[in-house]
């Protein structure tokens, strides 16, 4: 993804987002509510970051392995989840890990868009799931609002419903359920990243957004299909072990 005024990736931007997300508990729980009912009992979370969602999943009493490539994030996540007996956090590079049918659920939230080869990663997650297991994905939506805030955190792309569904199906999953999330957030992302060329939004803006979550949830009910800041998808690995294509 390119722009007329390219912004160099900033390693501090990801830290900003993860630290701010620790302060937006209402927003986190809203996201969590979108996929909570699809969770199984033996879960892999890929790219767990500082453990914001790992803790929410672990609080439900499920067994979860959270992995992240960043050692600093892993230490923070370990501290945030040390009171949860079912949670394990490990420093791992998912591209070098080879799980085989070990999990009933794989969760990947706001990670796939960072990868050059998204289908290759989805194929790896397919192999990590037991037959009948579920994949839960959250990605940024609407390529038209790609801007400075995407660039500095290393986003390769924003997705449409079609491009996300096509990638998931190409990796061997069943036809996924996919929906848009967070209509109002589209305007904020466009204004900050495209118009004002900010690399991160003001922290006060995020805190205000967090306080408005009850209203935002109500507005989302009336959102046009496919319009939202993010896309969430849930797909299954078919019971058959054959992915249906050759390699």
pLDDT tops 60 at residue 222:
yes
Residue 6 within a domain: no
Q: What is the DSSP letter of 223?
A: P
> In which domain, by residue range, is 210 found?
11-236
Within a domain: 3: no
pLDDT of residue 12: 73
Residue 4 has pLDDT above 50, yes or no: no
Query: Tens digit of pLDDT for each residue in 15-61?
Result: 777 777 777 889 999 999 999 999 999 999 999 999 999 999 999 87
DSSP state letter for 196 = S
Query: What SS3 state is found at 30?
Result: helix
Q: What is the CATH number of the domain that holds 157?
A: 3.40.50.150
- The per-residue pLDDT for range 114-136, each reduced to its tens digit, is 999 999 999 999 999 999 999 99
DSSP strand pairing (103-109 vs 63-68): unpaired
Q: What is the mean pLDDT of residues 195-207?
A: 89
- Residue 242 inside a domain? The answer is no
What is the three-class DSSP state of 80? Answer: helix
CA dihedral 110, 115, 117, 118 (to 10 degrees): 0
Whether the predicted pLDDT of 83 surpasses 90 = yes
Task: Return phi, psi of residue 89, to 5°.
Answer: -120, 130
Is pLDDT at 5 greater than 50 in this prediction?
Answer: no
On the question of pLDDT at 96 being above 90, the answer is no
In this predicted structure, the answer to whether residue 69 has a pLDDT above a threshold of 50 is: yes
**Residue 241: inside a domain, yes or no?**
no
Give the pLDDT score at 8. 57
CB count, 10 Å around CB of 189?
A: 22
- 62 has a pLDDT exceeding 70: yes
Domain for residue 1, yes or no? no
Q: Is 27 exposed, middle or buried (0-12, 13-18, 19+ CB in 10 A)?
A: buried
Tokens of 171: 């990796």
Predicted local distance difference test score (pLDDT) of residue 203: 87
The pLDDT value recorded for residue 16 is 74
Alpha carbons within 13 angstroms on the beta-carbon side of residue 96 total 5
Q: How many residues does the chain have?
A: 247
88 in a structural domain:
yes
Residue 203 included in any domain? yes
- Tally of domains within the chain: 1
């Amino acid at each position: 993804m390119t722009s007329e005024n390219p912004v160099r990736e900033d390693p501090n931007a990801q830290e900003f987002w993860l630290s701010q997300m620790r302060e937006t508990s209402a927003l986190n729980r809203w996201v969590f509510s979108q996929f909570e009912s699809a969770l199984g009992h033996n879960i892999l979370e890929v790219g767990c970051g500082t453990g914001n969602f790992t803790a929410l999943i672990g609080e439900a009493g499920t067994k979860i392995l959270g992995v992240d490539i960043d050692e600093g994030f892993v230490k923070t996540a370990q501290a945030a989840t040390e009171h949860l007996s079912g949670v394990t956090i490990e420093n791992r590079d998912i591209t070098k890990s080879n799980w085989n049918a070990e999990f009933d659920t794989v969760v990947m939230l706001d990670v796939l868009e960072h990868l050059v080869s998204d289908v290759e990663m989805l194929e790896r997650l397919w192999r990590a799931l037991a037959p009948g297991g579920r994949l839960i994905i959250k990605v940024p939506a609407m390529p038209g609002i790609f801007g400075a805030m995407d660039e500095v955190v290393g986003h390769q792309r924003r997705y449409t419903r079609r491009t996300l569904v096509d990638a998931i199906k190409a990796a061997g999953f069943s036809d996924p359920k996919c929906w848009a999330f967070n209509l109002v957030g589209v305007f904020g992302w466009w204004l900050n990243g495209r118009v004002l060329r900010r690399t991160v939004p003001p922290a006060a803006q995020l805190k205000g957004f967090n306080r408005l979550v009850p209203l935002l949830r109500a507005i989302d009910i009336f959102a046009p299909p496919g319009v939202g800041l993010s896309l969430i998808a849930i797909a299954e690995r078919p019971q058959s072990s054959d992915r249906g294509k050759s390699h």
